[in-house]
Amino acid sequence: MTTLKDEIYKIYKKVKVIRNYTIKQNVVFNRYGWIHLSYDSRGHRRSSKDRKICKIL
């Protein structure tokens, strides 16, 4: 049985670089982005509600 975190991580790893036309730059998905999605600014794990939103995106 996989967890929600595992499912999101699989999706995250498939994305390497995307073009953001708003800032007119490529956005690179790396471990810093994964940490940002997994933890809030205080260093606490994000809630399952937040992680479910990531899966939808």
**Average pLDDT for residues 20-47, to the nearest whole number?**
83
Looking at beta carbons, which pairs linking 2-8 to residues 24 or more positions away fall under 8 Å? 4/48, 4/51, 4/52, 4/55, 5/38, 5/51, 7/55, 8/37, 8/51, 8/54, 8/55
Percent of the chain with pLDDT over 90: 9
Segment 22-41 shows an average pLDDT of: 83
pLDDT (mean) for 21-38 = 84
Average pLDDT, the chain: 78
